[in-house]
A and B are shown apart, each in its own frame.
Chain A
Amino acid sequence: MRAGLAGWAFAAPALIIIGVFFFAPVLGAFAVSLTDFDLYALADLRNLRFVGLDNYLELLESRDFWRALGNTCYFVAAGVPLSIGASLAAALLVNSRLTRLPAFFRTVFFAPVVATLVAVALVWRYLLHTRYGLINWGLGGLGLSPIDWLGNPHWAMPAIILFAVWKNFGYNMIIFVAALQSIPGDLYEAAHLDGANGWQEFSRVTLPLLRPTTMLVGVLTVAGYFQLFAEPYVMTEGGPLQSTMSVLYLMYEQGFKWWNLGSASAIAFLLFLIVLAVTALELRLSRRREAA
């Protein structure tokens, strides 16, 4: 009994904080999303009206929401495979038997992950500068004409994707390195004795054994990339022509620029449901694959 009381007492501070500042607002968000909470309600709660699912229906009919969702899906669909590919390549290099100073390279590749997103996004905005940026200078060296990266609606999202890959590949690399190190060495020896070349070792031994890790990394990265916000906020302000407006950015503008907190809450919930659905789909696909 004494231990029971102590258990509650020990868990209480964290549970109270998580309950009051996370669970309560999450439930509250659903309630708010069913109202027309706006600037008038913010001033005087008597102006608040219950509107049922109107916020959701309005969003599903709004061009801005679909546009933002499309942009976000573009970012996820292109950014996730590129990021994971870069992570895996870096992990294979770092983990190679031939590599000297693996710890040094691992630290270097991880540096962008810990660097403050806003700060390095600013650096990249400058790297991508049409006239003075290093990237266009490099393209010029290859004989290519300069690209108006952040000013052209066709190039702004690819530029942000490039930046995101640079910023994040080190994170999954760490997870891949750990998985690679857990593959028993005698499997490679056996493959070697059977006359497998480097590529065959990779495709027949390494890749299949990495599948659970790749799946995990994929699910986490997809969920993370759906939260795109600070990159466009700093680099493009959602432009040009809304080509980098993400769902979370739309939520921020609706909520804290126009003070449509009802609509913003509905956006947050829709995004959550979409991520949940995509995650469930990924898990189901991976299970089916495993069964096959």
Chain B
Amino acid sequence: MSPRLARTLVHLALGALTLVTLVPLLWMLSVSFMPQGEASAFPPPLLPHHATVANYRLLFNSNGAGRYLGNSLALALITTLCSLVCNSLAGFAFAKLRFAGREALLRTLLAALVIPSQVAMMPLFLMMKWLGLVNSYAGVVLPAAAGIFGVFLVRQYALSIPDELLEAARIDGAGELRIFVRIVLPVLRPILVTLAVLTFLGSWNDFLWPLIVLTDQSMYTLPVALATLSREHAQDNELMMAGAVLTVLPVLLLFLALQRYYIRGILMGSVKG
């Protein structure tokens, strides 16, 4: 096979795969701008005849999308903030501070990584009920405010901080908290961006737990609201596609802006296994 032919074949395959990957997303975007009913036709229209934002208007004016968008955004931001604080403190402690029981704890946490989260869900719901946190932001945020994976992500990175750096600061009389804020945090910055992106996307896309713990429609996040709406409006394809765009677009943009950090997180996660 000539190099030129090989190159053409490779790019043909890449092109086909790109098409398969993007067509669903592009069609979602296109249909979201069609007037009600236009997409229920054969053959399926590829582009709107007269593009309109009516679906988005309907979504916000009579379906409470603003509320769901606000809930999703607030929950993802608060969860990210909590997870940054808790996991960075603990990750650093497990990497660089000696304390009694550290190794045993580390082994327990590592072993617990195999337990899937849904095992905890039934008692967690009862716990939230007794705490009066069903249907509250806290009910969604608290279980995700720290996580074993997050602790390990930070720990792996913090292991590379030289001990001499910390010792020097201690000899100068700096307290541990001051050392953490002044010396450790700046070094950890890249991995904290990774953790932030992973947590934000995870929280935004999360479905099962918010579906369980948020029982009042006004508290729904976008995915939960979208799943509920789609059961009531099974035929309103244009409206549903607008809802899907609204849900997907923020995370796609965030990913495009910070994909370097996101991919680092995946690779560190898989190396750790």
Contacts and interface: CB of A to CB of B under 8 A. Distances in A.
A281 interface: no
Interface in B108-141: 109, 112, 114-127
A276 interface: yes
A124 B230 CA distance: 13
Nearest to A23: B112
Contacts of B245: 119
Nearest to B270: A175
5 contacts: A10-B92, A10-B93, A21-B145, A112-B24, A261-B125
Contacts of A94: 14
Contacts of B55: none
Contacts of B176: 2-3, 6, 10
A74 interface: no
A120 B24 contact: yes
Interface magnitude class on chain A? 35 or more
A26 B6 CA distance: 54
Contact of B266 (A23, A174, A255): A174
B123 A178 contact: no
B80 interface: no
A110 to B, nearest CB: 7
Contacts of B27: 123, 127, 134
3 shortest interchain CB distances as A-B pairs = A7-B99, A28-B123, A7-B97
Interface in A208-249: 216-217, 219-220, 223, 227, 229-230, 233-234, 237, 248
A109 B208 CA distance: 26
B85 interface: yes
B21 A112 contact: yes
A216 B143 CA distance: 28
B239 to A, nearest CB: 11
Contacts of B7: 98
A117 B118 contact: no
B55 to A, nearest CB: 13
B79 to A, nearest CB: 11
Contacts of B99: 3-8, 11
B270 A272 contact: no
Nearest to A235: B230
A11 B89 CA distance: 6
Interface stretch (A61-69, A75-83, A187-195, A262-270): A262-270
B208 A115 contact: no
B22 A29 contact: no
B267 interface: yes
Interface of B: 1, 3, 6-7, 10-11, 13-14, 17-18, 20-25, 27-28, 31, 39-44, 85-87, 89-90, 92-94, 97-100, 102, 105, 109, 112, 114-127, 142-143, 145-148, 150-151, 176-177, 180, 201, 204-205, 207-208, 211-212, 222-224, 226-227, 230-231, 237, 240-241, 243-245, 247-248, 251-252, 255-256, 259, 262-263, 266-267, 270, 273
A139 interface: no
Given A18-B109, A137-B43, A99 B223 contact: no
Contact of A10 (B90, B116, B251, B270): B90
Contacts of B127: 21, 24-25, 28
Interface in A1-54: 2-8, 10-11, 13-15, 17-18, 21-26, 28-29, 31-32, 37, 42
Given A13-B90, A94-B14, 5 more contacts: A119-B222, A119-B226, A166-B24, A216-B270, A265-B119
Contacts of B105: 11, 15
A114 B1 CA distance: 37
A181 to B, nearest CB: 11
Nearest to B263: A174
A131 B42 contact: yes
Contacts of A279: 114
Given A6-B176, A123-B241, A229-B208, A118 B23 contact: no
B123 A17 contact: no
- A14, A105, A125, A198: residue with the most chain B Cβ atoms closer than 10 Å: A14
B222 A116 contact: yes
B44 A137 contact: yes
Contacts of A114: 201, 205, 251-252, 255, 262
Contact of B118 (A90, A132, A170, A268): A268
Contacts of B201: 114
Given A137-B43, A175-B266, A230-B207, A22 B120 contact: yes
Contacts of A272: 115-116, 119
Given A90-B17, A174-B263, A230-B208, A111 B44 contact: no
A21 to B, nearest CB: 4
A124 B259 CA distance: 25
A134 B162 CA distance: 57
Interface string A139-179: 00000000000000000000000000010001100110010
A13 to B, nearest CB: 5
